[in-house]
Structure 1
């Protein structure tokens, strides 16, 4: 199918409502058919095509992938179709994606207004630094007055800002070049190993990977599959190359005689706690429940880390804006006061 206009929020709500109907005893086709009437006309036609493909025997995850649904949502559907817990998995997937989308919207909203203010302030700063201050400096020199400290600071900042912007452009271009020349050629596992060492972003990614792996493994084990069978399904998940490769790697090492907790502890993309949880769950015979509890714990920590980041980022942005605005006033007023002192 052609690329459509389904937003992540619309995708999540579609799965959420489908999961609710499945939980009330609806068969999958009837649940999806019941939702058609609540969708715009264009999406109604797409869902009708989905129903036709479902009746022809195509799996739902493949149909949603054709509609370009988010890969994480498609992954949830893929695993849910293997273990049979469609209702719970759909609602969990929608809950996680809605929270993630809400956090992203909050971050964009948080950055938008300060970014506009910073841009306007920088434009005004260039105006002051290139038009007003040179006139003051010329006047100071004609009256044999020394430049004040702040005027010198403003000039220094004016010289450093272009260098800073040039540095940002060079770093961005180098990153872009590295991505297309080297990074894209690495395996998904190698790519994520590079990303998790990044400050601030790395811990969030590790928590996200640990959450997704643990919740899907929990669902598969609770559906009656063995660990080996569950890993085989991870290996078959072509929609998510990272978990496909991770599943194949863990499976290969299990065949080689290594213990599951030892293998997971050696994979840097997962939190160290995951290996401990695996070992504890195997010892008490409740591995599926331990993994599910751990996945909820990861989700709570992700929310806490996101909230903490937003609380730190917001004051820093407004502090920067405040300093720039105060600098603007001082850049204009101090030379005037200095000029009056010399008269």
Structure 2
């Protein structure tokens, strides 16, 4: 995406840029670019071509808005940069989790051996010395004897909850789903930052390229990737038709940051709404990535702590009755 956007900025047409990129690839990628060129020649929009070949949804979104407001090169470069950042963070997340997951797998293996081989021997030893096992060992023994029942109970729970969840999802509007997700602890703040960025950035780009505020809102309302925006813009329009201002309408949307209304109000008063929205959207994006970074730094120590606690409990549960037996000798 980034290379394609750069070529378009240098004056290549979309067909020429794709043809040039096609020369640099082989195999399936080359064939896919060839099909994309043919689809464009037949009159398909670039957005539809992107959707057809199942690119990352982020590419489709920026292609749609780029074609709409006439800044396709800049939109593709932005999408490419965001994808690079996204994949970089995914790689960092996998790297951070690699060692804890390996340690967790080894601990599960040790736990299985303990449950099936070692623990029964200790229980027999405790019985011979008339030492009562502690509650943790009794819990492990209970787990060991009820694996099938626990597995069936979990499967039954999922078989009941999943259909109910999907049924609820079908009966609730996309707007209500986003409203519910924004209230969830943990992921809610992430979603609010991302959705605020999404709306404010694309609105700023449309305004910057000569669209009126009403036209910009209608373009966003027609966003094929985000169905919830249709009801969102309709709610804002109802507020506007009642005689209130755009900031008042934005305040009615529960999954956008409250600061967005203040930014719009200040931007309208200063006559720089497009610039202030763009600046605010980039600020939201930076805050989003900062939160992701903090989450990544928190996950690994948390996993290490939980695994360490589990191992310590295993040892304590076995050794405490053993010390009691030694004291009796």
Structure 1 residue 98 displacement after superposition: 2.4
Bigger relative contact order, structure 1 or 2 (CA pairs below 8 A, ≥6 apart): 1
| Correspondence 1:51 to 2:37 | yes
Contact residue 235 and residue 247 of structure 1 kept, 8 A: yes
The secondary structure found in structure 1 opposite 2:23 is helix
| Correspondence 1:340 to 2:323 | no
- For residues 179 and 230 of structure 1, what CA distance do their matches in structure 2 show? 35
Structure 1: gaps of 5 or more residues? 1-14
- For residues 167 and 289 of structure 1, what CA distance do their matches in structure 2 show? 56
CA 1:264 to 1:174, structure 2 compared with 1: closer, same or farther past 3 Å? farther
Equivalent residue in structure 2 for 1:70, among 52, 56, 77: 56
Structure 2: gaps of 5 or more residues? none
User: CA-atom RMSD, angstroms?
Assistant: 2.6
Contact residue 140 and residue 146 of structure 1 kept, 8 A: yes
Structure 1 residue 327 displacement after superposition: 3.1
Q: What does 1:1-343 correspond to in 2, within 5 Å? A: 15-147=1-133, 151-156=134-139, 159=142, 172-343=158-329
- For residues 216 and 270 of structure 1, what CA distance do their matches in structure 2 show? 14
- For residues 165 and 109 of structure 1, what CA distance do their matches in structure 2 show? 31
- For residues 216 and 104 of structure 1, what CA distance do their matches in structure 2 show? 25
CA 1:49 to 1:249, structure 2 compared with 1: closer, same or farther past 3 Å? farther
Contact residue 6 and residue 73 of structure 2 kept, 8 A: yes
Scaled by the length of structure 2, the TM-score of the pair is: 0.89
Aligned residue pair count: 326
Runs of 4+ in structure 1 deviating by more than 6 angstroms, as ranges, are 160-168
| Alpha-carbon displacement from aligned partner over 1:139-179 (angstroms, at most 9, x marks no partner) | 333333454xxx43333356479799888666655552233
Moved more, 301-310 or 118-127: 118-127
| Alpha-carbon displacement from aligned partner over 1:277-315 (angstroms, at most 9, x marks no partner) | 111111101111111101110111011101111111111
- For residues 67 and 218 of structure 1, what CA distance do their matches in structure 2 show? 28
CA 1:280 to 1:152, structure 2 compared with 1: closer, same or farther past 3 Å? same
